[in-house]
Chains A and B, each alone.
Chain A
Amino acid sequence: MGLFENPLPYDALSTIIFLPLSGALLILLFRGERAARVMALIFSLANLALSLPLLFLFDPSLSGFQFVELREWFPGLGLKYALGIDGISLPLVLLTVLLSPICVLCSWRAIEQRVRAFMFCLLLMETSMIGVFCSLDFVLFYIFWEGMLIPMYLLIAIWGGPRKDYASLKFFIYTLVGSVFLLVAIVALYLKQGTFFIPDLLFKSYDYRFQFWVFLAFAIAFAIKVPMFPFHTWLPAAHVEAPTAGSVFLASILLKMGSYGFLRFCFGLTPEAAQKLAPIIVILSIVAIIYAGFLCLGQQDMKRLIAYSSVAHMGFVTLGLFSFKLWGLKGAMLQMLNHGVTTGALFLCVGILYERTHSRLIADNSGLGKVMPWFVAFFGLFCFSSFGFPGTNNFVGELFVLLGAFETNKVMALFVIPGPILAAAYMLRLLKRTIWKDGETSPLEDLTLREVLYLLPLAVAVIWMGFAPRGILGLMESSLRLYLEAVKGAM
C-alpha cells in the first residue's frame, strides 16, 4: 500500500477540511444574517478553489494514497492524525466542495430563521464530509462520521417541514444504530492488529470467520447509510422534511459514504467475506431498484419521489460494486458522482418550486411550461439525466454497471432491466405533470440569476459526464484496479 507525500508546500487536505470549520466559527463571532450568508459563501467558494490544486497535482497512475499527512496523535493508543486521498476519494471530495457553495446559495432566501446557526451547520457538515473521505485513521474517520450526525439532525429538526420531529428522530436512530456497528468493526480490527491506521489494515489476509463478522458489522452500518433495501425507510421521511440544502447534502454526499465504505473497507479488509456474501447484496440491490421504481410511480410528493429514486440509483451503485468487475466498479463510482449531481440538482429544483408555490405536491406545481420556461429547461435536463437518457451522466454510469452485471451473470442481470423502464416511466410522468396542465396557470417568477448560477454548473456536469467521462474515469482507474484485485485475489 503506497503512501505518497504531499507535493504542496502546505497541508492541503487539512486546509480543505478545516477551512469550513474556521468559517463556521467565524460566523458565530459576527452578528447579522447577511454577514453569515456572505461569509458561508466566501468560505465554501474558497474551499472549492483550494481543492483545485489537488485535482491538478493528483497523479492518476498511482493507486495508493496521495497528499498524505501523517502525525502522531495519541501514541499510547496508536492513534495517528493521518489524511490522504486516492482515486476513489478524490472525486467524492471534489463533489463535496462543489456542492457546498451551491447549498449555501440555495438557502439564501429559503432560510429566514436562525440564519447564522444554519450556515454554521452547513459548514460543519462540509468539514465532516471531507474529513470522512480523507481520513486514514479509523478513529479520525469515526469522529468525522459521527460529526455529520449532529448538524444533519439539526438541519432537519430545526429548519425542517411539518413532520420534522418524526423525521429527524428516525434519521438519528437509524444512523446511530449503523454507527454502533461501525464502531464494533473498528474495535474488532484494532484488537486484531493493534492499530487504527487504515493503510496498515488494508489488504491483509484475515481468517474467514473474522472477516465474516467484520463484514457483517460494516455491511449493516453502510447498508443503512446507502440506504439499501430493507434499511431505506428513514430516507424518504428525512428527505421530505429536510430543508433543500439538507436534502442535497443528504442525497449527494451522505449516501455516498455508505457505498464508499463498502468499497474501501468491505473490499479492502474483508474481501473473502465480500465474495461469499455478494449474492445477498446483489439480490437486495436488484430488489431495491425494482421496488423503489414501483414506489416512485405512486408518489404525489415530488421530494418523496426523488427520495425513492435515490434508493433505486444507489441500488445500481451496490450492484456495480458487487459485480466484482472493473466495469461494475467504474460504473458504481460514476453512479455515485452522477447521483450526487443529478439528484442534488433535482432537490434544488423542488426547493425552487417550494419557494414559489409553498407546496411539494406534483398537483400544486403543474403547468409550469408556460410560466417558467427556463426552470423547465433545467428541470427537464435533470429528470432526463435521472432516468439515464443517453448523452447524460447517468446513462454512462448505468451502462457501465449493466456491463459489469451482465459480465458476471447474464441471467441475473436481466432481472435489473425493469429498473430503467420504471425510471423512465416515473420521471416522464413527473415531467409531464409539472410542465403541462389543462387550463391556465397562475403566473410564477422564472429562475433568478442566483438560481441559474447554482444550477448551471450541475447542468454542465450532467452533459460533460455524459459525453466525456474519461477524465474522471482516468482519475479512479488505478485505485479501483487495486481494490478489484484484492477481492479477486481472495477467491
Chain B
Amino acid sequence: MSGIHSIKPILPVLITLTTVFLIMASRRRPNLREFWSIAGSVGTFVAVLTMVPTVLQGEVLCFELSRIAPGLSFRFRVDGLGMVFGLISSFLWILASFYNIGYMRSLGEHAQTRYYACFSSAILGAQGVAYSGSLLTLYLFYEIITVVTYPLVAHHQDEEAYEAGKKYLFYLMGTSKGLLLPAMVLTYLLSGTLDFSPSIQEGILNQEGFWVTLTYWLFILGFAKAAIMPLHNWLPSAMVAPTPVSALLHAVAVVKAGVFSIARVMLSVFGLSLLERLGLGMWTAYFVSITIILASVIALTKDDLKERLAYSTISQLSYIVLGVALLSTMGITGGIFHIVGHALGKITLFFCAGAIYVAHHKKRISELSGIGYAMPFTMGAFALASLSMIGIPPVGGFVSKWFLVHGAMDVREMGIVIVLLVSALLNAGYFAPITFRAFFEGTERTFRLREAPLWMVIPLCATALLSLFVGFWPDLFVELVRSMR
C-alpha cells in the first residue's frame, strides 16, 4: 500500500461519532448539547486541518481498519480530492452549528436532540466518504448518510414530510441497492479488488467491453445523491426539511458526497486513460449537460425560494461531474474546485432563505419585494452569493467556471462551452430577479426593519465573504487538486 500509514484519516470520523453520543447523552441540557455540536465541529475541522500540509506535498495518508477478503477492505485514504471535500464540509459544519442554534431555537422546533444527533451523523458520513480508501468504505458511509438524513427530511412528521421522506429513501436507497451494489460486484469480478487505485491515470479496471461500460453507467446513475436527471426529484422534495438541513446537507454534505463519489469512481476506479479509451468522458459530459440546462430552466419557473435553490443545486452539481468528465487537468480542477465554490455560495443562499423565514415567515419569491431594506445584511450576502452562482468575477463561482471553460476549450468541445455560457445566462435569469425584487421593488415600509438573530446573520455573512475570498485566493484548493497524480 503506497502512502503514509497514519491514524489521522479516521480521527474526523471518530470525533464526529463521539459528538453524536455526547449530543444524545446531554439531551436534557440543551445548552450543553449545543456546546457539543460546536466543539465537535471545531474539533473535526482541526483534525482535518492537520492533514493538509502532508497532502499538499503530494503524499497520501492511509489507514486500514479491517480486511474481509483479498481486495475487500474497510480502509481510509486521504488525497487531494478527499481533502477538498473534507475541508469544506467540516469547516461549514462549524458555521452551520451556530446557525442551527439560531434557527431551531427561534422557531421552537421539536425533537431537537434527534435533529442535532442526526445532523452530526450526516457529517460523520460525509467525512467518511471523503476519506474512503475503497469502494466498500465509500458505500458504508454513503449509506450512513442516507439513513441518518431521513429523520431530518421527515423532521416535521406531517403528511408532506413523510411523503418527502419516503421519496428520499426510495430514490437514494433504491439506487444504492439496485445500481451501486451490482456495480461493486461487477467491479470486483472484473478487477479483483475494490480498493482505490493510487493513481488517477490508471484505475483498478483496465479492460474494455460491455460489462465495463455497464458498470460505469451503474455507478453514474447509482450515486443518486448527485441528483443527475432523471434521478433528481428527491432533492426538491427534501426541501421540506428545516432550512439548515437544506443548507449544509442538501447543498454541501449530502449532495457533494454524491458528486464526490462519482468523481472518485471516475478517477480512482476507472482512471483517466481507461475513460479516454472507452470514450466515456464526453458521453458523461453531454449527459450531465442535459441536467445543467434543464434544471436551470425548471428553476426559472419556481416561486418557492428553497425550491428554486434546489433546482439550482441540481444544475450546479452537474458542473462538478462535467468538469471531471472532461478528463483534462483544467476540467478536473474546475470541477473539483466547484465543490468549494458552489458549497460556499449555495450554503449562503440557503442560510439567507432560512433567515428570511425566521424573521418574516416568507417562503415565496413573489413576497420578497422590498425585503432588502428590512434585512440589508442578509440580502447583501444573498446578492454576493448569487454572483458566485452566476460566475461573475471575482466571486468563487467564477474561478470554477473559468477552469471549466478552459478545460472544455482544451479538449476542443465547443458544445460544452456553449452549455456553460447558456447555463450562466439562465443562472442570472433566476437569481438576479430575486435581488432586484428585494432592493428595487416595493418600498422601505413593506417590511419592518428586522434582521434574523445574530446566530444566523453572522454565519451567513461569513460564508458570503468566504466565497468572495476563495475567488481571490483559490490557491489552496487548486493546489490540493493538483497534488493528485
Chain A residues in contact with chain B, CB under 8 A? 384, 388-391, 396, 399, 402-403, 406-407, 410, 413-414, 417-418, 420-421, 423-425, 428, 436, 438, 467-470, 473
Q: Assuming the A-B contacts A390-B140, A403-B185, A414-B182, are A469 and B177 also in contact, with contact meaning beta carbons closer than 8 angstroms in the complex? A: no
CB contacts (< 8 Å) of B182 on chain A: these are 402, 406, 413-414, 417
Q: Assuming the A-B contacts A402-B182, A403-B185, are A424 and B173 also in contact, with contact meaning beta carbons closer than 8 angstroms in the complex? A: yes
Do A402 and B185 have beta carbons less than 8 Å apart? yes
CB contacts (< 8 Å) of B65 on chain A: these are 467
Q: Assuming the A-B contacts A418-B178, A467-B74, are A410 and B186 also in contact, with contact meaning beta carbons closer than 8 angstroms in the complex? A: yes
Shortest 6 CB-CB contacts between residues of A and residues of B: A390-B140, A420-B177, A421-B177, A467-B66, A402-B185, A424-B173
Could you say which of A390, A410, A425, A470 contacts B143, with CB atoms under 8 Å apart?
A390
CB contacts (< 8 Å) of A396 on chain B: these are 68
* CB of B188 within 8 Å of the partner chain: yes
The docked-state distance in angstroms from the alpha carbon of A438 to that of B158 is: 9
Q: Assuming the A-B contacts A467-B74, A468-B66, are A399 and B174 also in contact, with contact meaning beta carbons closer than 8 angstroms in the complex? A: no
CB contacts (< 8 Å) of B140 on chain A: these are 390-391
CB contacts (< 8 Å) of A436 on chain B: these are 157
The docked-state distance in angstroms from the alpha carbon of A396 to that of B67 is: 11
Do B189 and A406 have beta carbons less than 8 Å apart? yes
Could you say which of A384, A420, A473 contacts B181, with CB atoms under 8 Å apart?
A420
CB contacts (< 8 Å) of A468 on chain B: these are 66, 68
Do A470 and B68 have beta carbons less than 8 Å apart? yes
Do B181 and A417 have beta carbons less than 8 Å apart? yes
CB contacts (< 8 Å) of B189 on chain A: these are 403, 406-407
Pick the most buried of B67, B174, B181, B185: most chain A CB atoms within 10 A of its CB.
B185
Do A390 and B177 have beta carbons less than 8 Å apart? no
Do B173 and A421 have beta carbons less than 8 Å apart? yes
Residues B67-94 near A (CB distance < 8 A): 67-69, 72, 74
Per-position binary interface string of chain B over residues 368-410, scored 1 when its CB falls under 8 Å from any chain A CB and 0 otherwise: 0000000000000000000000000000000000000000000
Do A390 and B136 have beta carbons less than 8 Å apart? yes
* CB of B211 within 8 Å of the partner chain: yes
How many interface residues does B have (CB within 8 Å)? Answer: 27
The docked-state distance in angstroms from the alpha carbon of A470 to that of B136 is: 16
Do A424 and B69 have beta carbons less than 8 Å apart? no
Per-position binary interface string of chain B over residues 278-322, scored 1 when its CB falls under 8 Å from any chain A CB and 0 otherwise: 000000000000000000000000000000000000000000000
Taking the nearest CB of chain A, how far is it from the CB of B395, in angstroms?
Answer: 39
* CB of B337 within 8 Å of the partner chain: no
The docked-state distance in angstroms from the alpha carbon of A296 to that of B67 is: 33
The docked-state distance in angstroms from the alpha carbon of A421 to that of B180 is: 11
Do A421 and B174 have beta carbons less than 8 Å apart? yes
Complex A-B: 11 CB contacts under 8 Å: A388-B177, A390-B140, A402-B185, A403-B188, A406-B185, A410-B211, A413-B182, A420-B178, A421-B173, A421-B174, A425-B173
The docked-state distance in angstroms from the alpha carbon of A435 to that of B391 is: 45
Chain B, Cβ-Cβ closest to A391: B140
* CB of B169 within 8 Å of the partner chain: yes
CB contacts (< 8 Å) of B169 on chain A: these are 424-425, 428
The docked-state distance in angstroms from the alpha carbon of A467 to that of B64 is: 11
Chain A, Cβ-Cβ closest to B140: A390
Do A390 and B69 have beta carbons less than 8 Å apart? no
The docked-state distance in angstroms from the alpha carbon of A413 to that of B140 is: 22
Residues B130-147 near A (CB distance < 8 A): 136, 139-140, 143, 147
Chain A, Cβ-Cβ closest to B74: A467
The docked-state distance in angstroms from the alpha carbon of A384 to that of B150 is: 14
CB contacts (< 8 Å) of A388 on chain B: these are 177
The docked-state distance in angstroms from the alpha carbon of A184 to that of B74 is: 48
Do A389 and B188 have beta carbons less than 8 Å apart? no
Do A406 and B68 have beta carbons less than 8 Å apart? no
The docked-state distance in angstroms from the alpha carbon of A470 to that of B65 is: 13
CB contacts (< 8 Å) of A467 on chain B: these are 65-66, 68, 74
Residues B336-386 near A (CB distance < 8 A): none
Chain B, Cβ-Cβ closest to A437: B157
Pick the most buried of B139, B147, B173, B177: most chain A CB atoms within 10 A of its CB.
B177
Do A390 and B139 have beta carbons less than 8 Å apart? yes
Q: Assuming the A-B contacts A389-B143, A410-B186, are A469 and B68 also in contact, with contact meaning beta carbons closer than 8 angstroms in the complex? A: yes
The docked-state distance in angstroms from the alpha carbon of A418 to that of B179 is: 10
Do A473 and B185 have beta carbons less than 8 Å apart? no
Could you say which of A389, A399, A418, A438 contacts B185, with CB atoms under 8 Å apart?
A399
The docked-state distance in angstroms from the alpha carbon of A47 to that of B352 is: 65
CB contacts (< 8 Å) of B184 on chain A: these are 399
Chain A, Cβ-Cβ closest to B178: A421
* Given A390-B139, A425-B173, A467-B68, 8 new contacts (CB under 8 A): A384-B147, A389-B147, A403-B188, A406-B186, A413-B182, A413-B185, A420-B181, A473-B69
CB contacts (< 8 Å) of A420 on chain B: these are 177-178, 181
Do A470 and B178 have beta carbons less than 8 Å apart? no
Per-position binary interface string of chain B over residues 177-220, scored 1 when its CB falls under 8 Å from any chain A CB and 0 otherwise: 11001101110110000000000000000000001000000000
The docked-state distance in angstroms from the alpha carbon of A423 to that of B67 is: 26
The docked-state distance in angstroms from the alpha carbon of A16 to that of B248 is: 57
Taking the nearest CB of chain A, how far is it from the CB of B181, in angstroms?
Answer: 6
The docked-state distance in angstroms from the alpha carbon of A468 to that of B65 is: 9
CB contacts (< 8 Å) of A428 on chain B: these are 147, 169, 173
Chain A, Cβ-Cβ closest to B186: A406
CB contacts (< 8 Å) of B181 on chain A: these are 399, 402, 417, 420
Chain B, Cβ-Cβ closest to A423: B177
Do A424 and B177 have beta carbons less than 8 Å apart? yes
The docked-state distance in angstroms from the alpha carbon of A389 to that of B139 is: 10
